[in-house]
Amino acid sequence: MAVENEAMTIKGPMGGSRGGASPADDPAHGAFVREAPADASLRLYPPRTAKGLDPRHHAFTERIHDFRRAWLAQPGARPVGYLQILDLDQVRRHFGRRWDGLCDRVLQLVETTLESRLGPQDLYLVMSERLVWVLALGGERREIEVKGRLMASELTRLLCGALPGGIAVGFSTRLVNFEALADVDDPLGLLRRLAGLDPPPDPSTREDAPAA
């Protein structure tokens, strides 16, 4: 693959200094803040596969609500769902000035890998050039985390070669109550709810809430 072949020619550590965390590093604040160039959103959307969400499209809200209904319809006393975050920041730093020319191919590889690995009702949203959020249903947390870390390792290998020199696609998993998506109608609302900035609505006040 072109990205892998080019990545294999890069030697030495990543450039730049990590420094301290800044508000832009917080997905709750910086996920929709684009780095230059100004038309970076053209790189992110439309999604490259069917499981991707397009925040510019009128079907965005409908797909979020369909996902929530699928979450509620799971068997068992309590629905289970996860927010998984893939962080490409180390990969971006690794490529340095070449990132602008490679970003589209990197996202193409990430999204096609997600398409082949996610469950039939799972979704993903490219939040920025470095952050991808996955909405996943069901399963034991340990199993979900193992699968996610294996996927992140595979992406690291494909993007940076068999010997990535300490570089890795970041990965984290959070157990999420997707009832919080009940009245989400735009990407910023989704961002705020899943980042925990807004309290979810009271499930007991909704007609379609699962029985206790």
Give the Cα separation of 90 and 55 in Å (integer).
25
Summarised one tens digit per residue, pLDDT across range 30-55 is 333 333 333 456 679 999 999 999 98
Quick one: pLDDT at residue 204?
44
187-190: long-range pairs with CB below 8 Å, 24+: 187/32, 187/55, 187/60, 187/125, 188/32, 190/64, 190/125
Quick one: pLDDT at residue 41?
61
Summarised one tens digit per residue, pLDDT across range 136-162 is 998 888 999 999 999 999 999 999 988
Q: Could you tell me which of 167, 75, 82, 74 has the C-alpha nearest to residue 118?
A: 82
Evaluated on CA atoms 130, 112, 156, 83, the torsion sign reads positive
Quick one: pLDDT at residue 1?
44
pTM assigned to the model:
0.74
Quick one: pLDDT at residue 88?
96
Which spans in the chain are helix H?
2-7, 27-30, 41-44, 60-72, 89-95, 99-117, 141-160, 187-194
Which parts of the chain have pLDDT scores under 50?
1-2, 4-39, 199-200, 202-212
> Strands across the sheet with 123-126, in order?
123-126, 131-137, 81-87, 170-175
What's the CATH code, domain 2-7+47-200? 3.30.70.270
Quick one: pLDDT at residue 71?
93
Quick one: pLDDT at residue 192?
83
Q: Could you tell me which of 196, 47, 31, 66 has the C-alpha nearest to residue 137?
A: 66
Quick one: pLDDT at residue 18?
31
- Which residue type occupies 36? A
Q: Could you tell me which of 43, 38, 67 has the C-alpha nearest to residue 190?
A: 67
